[in-house]
Amino acid sequence: MTDADELPVWPGEPESLVVAVDTGDRIHYLDWAGRDAGQGDGPMPPLLLLHGLAQTGWSWTPVARRLRSVTRVLAMDLRGHGLSDSPRTGYDLSSLAFDALTVLVANGYGTDVSGAPAVVAGHGLGALVAATMARLQPESVCGLALVDAGWEDIGEATGQTPAEFERSLGDPPEVLRSMDAFLADRRDFDPHSWDADQERAARTTVDEKYAGHVAPVARDHVIRGAVEAMFDYQPRPALADLDMPLLVAVAEPAAPDDEQARERELALREMLARRAAAGLPQAVVVRFPGAGHSLMRYRPRDLAAGLRDLLVDSAAGYHRS
């Protein structure tokens, strides 16, 4: 894997942009620009970053700051998250994937505008959306990164129903009593990695109310719809015929004998075996021992290095387009 120290950290700010999808809903994204910011004809394909459930595009900031030195970097807010609109419907994976494909189209990428394909990296829910994009429009995606999700059936992995999973997501009242309390809770996940970028990312996930308490930006119907989509996701057909470079980034916070860790490992091995049997490009698996789910926060240097290698591996398909 590329030495992470080779990737400089850009101190600037991205441009905040909005694109309307075919339903009229507005989708917000951050354009970090980068080496390929002009015409999409540089040495590397562009990179689209998709966040996890109840997060926003700002969660990718530590990675985007490093990879904009390599290529054009876009990070979007999924429907119902951040500054994107929150319609009552459209939280199935296909709808979310077409939103993301529209962001590519708005920037001149993808088969719908006879543009170059992109590498798409998704974290959590975003990994499922990224895989769905690649299945729906493989000509628009020349490389795929599944960041701690996407290779497993979430019901099998967690042993929960969608309703049980949804109930496990909420913050207790004491965390939501004020912005200070909310930020302190997020900081305490890992004080070492907390900085101004992490604070901004956290702030974008909540609204501060008149009385001083905070409430999640992603409303109940958004979370419910997204969770149902996550449980509907079937990794076997989703990944069965994706003939493109694939990076799988695995957070390993638990001991290897943890039951959920074992289930995840078995699902990963099954996915790798199916791809090998089908003659598909073998996935590159990068493991992060001792790291929690939010790899963009806990291990941004190493994750950025893995994504840079994926960009290099995907460049051949990019230039054939």
Q: Which domains does the chain have, with CATH numbers?
A: 4-167+219-320 (3.40.50.1820)
Angle at 93 between CA 87 and CA 99, to 5 degrees: 60
pLDDT of residue 40: 46
Neighbours of 53 (CB within 10 A): 22
Cα–Cα distance list, 271 to 150, 242, 281, 282, 317 (Å): 10, 12, 12, 10, 23
How many Å apart are CA 313 and CA 204, to the nearest integer? 33
Measured on CA atoms in the order 115, 118, 123, 124, is the torsion positive or negative?
Answer: positive
Task: Please report which helix (H) or strand (E) contains residue 311, including its range.
Answer: helix 300-320
How many Å apart are CA 93 and CA 131, to the nearest integer? 9
The mean predicted confidence, pLDDT, of the chain is 94
pLDDT of residue 43: 83
Low-confidence ranges of the chain (pLDDT < 70): 1-5, 36-42, 317-321
pLDDT of residue 258: 85
pLDDT of residue 42: 63
pLDDT of residue 240: 87
Q: What are phi and psi of 34, to 5 degrees?
A: 130, -170
Span between the terminal Cα atoms of the chain, in Å:
26
Q: What's the whole-model pTM score?
A: 0.96
User: Do 183 and 205 touch, CB atoms closer than 8 A?
Assistant: no
Contacts 24+ apart (CB under 8 A), 288-294: 288/249, 288/250, 288/251, 288/252, 289/252, 290/252, 290/253, 291/251, 291/252, 291/253, 292/189, 292/190, 292/251, 292/253, 293/52, 293/124, 293/148, 293/251, 293/253, 294/52, 294/59, 294/123, 294/189
pLDDT of residue 260: 85
**111: Cα within 13 Å, side-chain hemisphere:** 11
pLDDT of residue 239: 94
